[in-house]
A and B are shown apart, each in its own frame.
Chain A
Amino acid sequence: MTSTVAPPSPAAVAAGDLDFDALYRGARDDVFAYVATLLRDAAAAEDVTAAAFERAFRRRRGFDARRGSPRAWLFGIARNAALDELRRRKRSATLVGEPMDPATSTLEDEAELAMRRAAVRDALVRLDARDREIVALRFHAGLSGAEIAAVLGVSESNVGTRLHRALEKLRKEMSDDPR
């Protein structure tokens, strides 16, 4: 995961122990990646990401460091926003025009690797939402096991188990893929 932490702007907002501006700078891309994987819709992911940060900013004074890290708190808000979007739409969205990272596309120009990536992408789309979500939190958002547990409201051991099962399902999907 690449995330550039820019120096705090003059308008940085700090509420209690929470430096919201620094949190935004460090987590924006991760939040988008998680939401986009969960929703499978880049346009909706942008909307949900903006809504998540808006909600988080409004609630920044309610952040309690004793209940978890700022990232876990933020991803909890983002998760709820994404689930609300799913409820509102009540349909499966297909990923539309997912943007490719220009930096990696130049490195992934071998055909075999491109096919491999396509297989991973398709398998990820076919995963059920709960499995896809935990994969997104771990590999796209870069959250730790403890943070994922805080976001999902489960134990860390449960996170490990679910993540392992999700990866097994991915491997099975990819092995079943004729490509």
Chain B
Amino acid sequence: MTPAEPDLVELTRALEAERPAVTPRFAREMDAWADDGFRGRGPRVADREVKVHRPGRRWGGRLAFHLSGVATIALCAVVLFAVIGRSGGADESASSGSGDGGGGGSVAADERAAPQRSSESGPSTAFDSAGNQALPAPPRANLRLRRGRSVERSASLALATPPDELERVAAGVSRVTDQVGGYVARSAVDARSGSGTATFALRVPASRLTQALADLSDLASVRSRTQASVDITATLRGAAERLEEARAERRGLLRRLERAPDAPTRARLRTVGRRIAAAKAAVARADRRADLARVDVTLAGEPGAGSGAGGSARDDGRWTPGDALRDAARILEVVAGGALVALAVALPLMLLGGPLLLAGRHRTRRRREAALDAI
């Protein structure tokens, strides 16, 4: 600006002359701080009336940044735990049979519903031709109709191992079955020099089938592995309905006997009683089919077969470098997967935080400008 009027020139000179000057004391303090390389806080920090007031940093931007950081970390932790938990209990894909109730069932739901009853069962039990074991009748509570679908699960596993390890692996099959709460319904081991075979019919809790198959697969080389499921909901519901019908008829007969006892009613009552027993047994059988999964294991002694993935480690409890590498690889997989998911979550948060940050800065700027108008 170029002042054109003489009085304006005089005014500007007067303004310049009124320029406040730094006191020598303050100048010394500031110069000392500058000579020290501006290290630490500036001079007179303790006496400073001015609080370093950065409302735009405290609110809006800083809050959004911290919130998004905390949320990201929390989400990472949740995702990691969820991935680890799911990978530990994940089931493999299974082929569903047509069943006698129509359509595949909700296996997961039945896994949750299946009670752990295998511990009540004894080892090595005789089987009939249909493969149904002779077990005592289950408690009455287990006869209640399940919610959702009932699925009978089965699997077959073909393993191969060096002939000299056949008996060790066979012992491992029994051990794994015990560990998951199942039992060996039938077994046959034929150990010969240079070859040998072993067969097992296992019954394991349906909820532990995945774990059992994984542990069995670690004992030796897997040649084949199949799984199947059959929806037996209709069978179980039919048996339960027959049971309820028979009970209702029995209640009616008992009321009739109270009013007018007669021989035909008593005979009918005995017949209905036999029907109730048969229906209970049918429900119990269906329950057992859903609760216990059948696993057929065949073990072949092959000279060229390798050991299982974690055979020696599982057999004697040692943790080998191979186990360490597998565990490390698994951990890296999980971490990478978790990081990817966390990034997918963090990006939208950051996109939200950006506008928040801008809004915070805009508000701070407005409030600062408003301070000028307030005085």
Contacts and interface: CB of A to CB of B under 8 A. Distances in A.
B324 interface: no
Contacts of B8: 167, 171
A146 interface: no
A37 B368 contact: no
Interface of B: 1, 7-8, 11-12, 14-23, 26-27, 29-30, 33-38, 41-44, 47-55, 367-369, 371-375
Given A53-B30, A145-B1, A9 B35 contact: yes
Given A29-B21, A47-B50, A85-B53, 9 more contacts: A11-B37, A13-B37, A50-B44, A86-B371, A108-B17, A120-B17, A124-B15, A129-B373, A140-B19
Contact of B374 (A11, A44, A86, A124): A86
A120 B48 CA distance: 30
Nearest to A101: B21
Contacts of A57: 38
A43 B368 CA distance: 21
A133 interface: yes
Contacts of A45: 20
B346 to A, nearest CB: 24
Contacts, number: 156
Interface of A: 1, 9, 11, 13, 20-21, 24-25, 28-29, 32-33, 36-37, 42-51, 53-55, 57, 80-81, 83-88, 90-92, 98-101, 104, 108, 116-117, 120-121, 124, 128-130, 133, 135, 138-140, 145, 160, 163-164, 167, 170-171, 174
B15 A9 contact: no
A83 B371 contact: yes
Contacts of B41: 54
Contacts of B1: 138, 145, 160, 163-164
A134 to B, nearest CB: 11
Contacts of B11: 120, 167, 170-171, 174
Given A99-B23, A139-B19, A129 B34 contact: no
Contacts of A29: 21-22
A55 B15 contact: no
A6 B84 CA distance: 64
A88 B53 contact: yes
B360 to A, nearest CB: 14
A24 B50 CA distance: 20
B16 A86 contact: no
B373 A48 contact: no
A129 B372 contact: yes
A1 B50 contact: no
21 contacts: A11-B34, A28-B22, A28-B27, A36-B20, A44-B50, A46-B26, A47-B48, A51-B48, A53-B30, A53-B42, A81-B50, A83-B372, A84-B50, A85-B53, A87-B53, A101-B19, A117-B18, A120-B17, A128-B373, A130-B372, A160-B1
Contacts of B42: 50-51, 53-54
A105 to B, nearest CB: 10
A135 B19 contact: no
A1 B16 contact: yes
Nearest to B36: A11
Contact of A21 (B19, B34, B49, B374): B34
A130 B42 CA distance: 28
A122 B27 CA distance: 26
